[in-house]
């Protein structure tokens, strides 16, 4: 039986639909991250916590302690996203709540946002392993698209 290809028009329509949905989410996220309050809060949090909190807690098999380069929201403010391009009060509370933040190095931030955390939460990864695994997964996603 011959293989039937999907029509390219249908694929383009699906991409447009997904892109429009994602762009509204991205716009809302960028509004928060471009806000002066977020920038000053993140800078202040980095000054108060100059080292990666995951490294300090021993989440790395190398027993390295690396300077903090990023601030992570433990509970994403996008969980309160309602589907429009407006920022609601609940999102602001989560975004600007200092108790919801964590100072991380780039590797641990990638790990927190990657599938690796869901697959092997108790496994200790080296910094090089994390970067390598994230690159592999990005390459695989790009090949699928």
- 85-130 per-position pLDDT tens digit: 778 889 899 999 999 999 998 888 888 877 555 555 445 566 677 7
Mean pLDDT of 34-50: 95
Quick one: average pLDDT of 30-48?
95
Question: What residue segments make up the domains of the chain, in order of their start?
Answer: 8-106
pLDDT per position as a tens digit, 45-90 = 999 999 999 888 877 666 778 899 999 998 888 888 887 777 888 9
Please answer whether residues 88 and 80 qualify as being in contact, where contact means their C-beta atoms are separated by less than 8 angstroms: yes
Per-residue confidence (pLDDT) for residue 101, from 0 to 100: 95
Question: Cβ distance 94 to 76 under 8 Å?
Answer: yes
What is the per-residue pLDDT for 121?
47
Rg (CA), the chain: 19
């Amino acid at each position: 039986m011959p293989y039937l290809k999907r029509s390219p028009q249908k694929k383009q329509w699906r991409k447009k639909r997904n892109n429009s949905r994602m762009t509204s989410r991205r716009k809302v996220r960028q509004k928060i991250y471009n806000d002066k309050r977020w920038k000053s809060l993140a800078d202040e949090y980095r000054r108060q916590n100059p080292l990666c909190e995951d490294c300090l807690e021993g989440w790395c098999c190398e027993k390295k302690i690396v300077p903090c380069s990023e601030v992570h929201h433990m509970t994403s403010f996008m969980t309160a996203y309602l589907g429009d391009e407006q920022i609601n009060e609940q999102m602001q509370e989560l975004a600007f709540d200092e108790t919801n933040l964590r100072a991380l190095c780039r590797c641990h931030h990638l790990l927190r946002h990657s599938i690796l955390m869901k697959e092997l939460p108790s496994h200790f990864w080296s910094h090089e392993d994390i970067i390598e695994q994230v690159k592999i997964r990005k390459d695989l996603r790009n090949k699928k698209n």
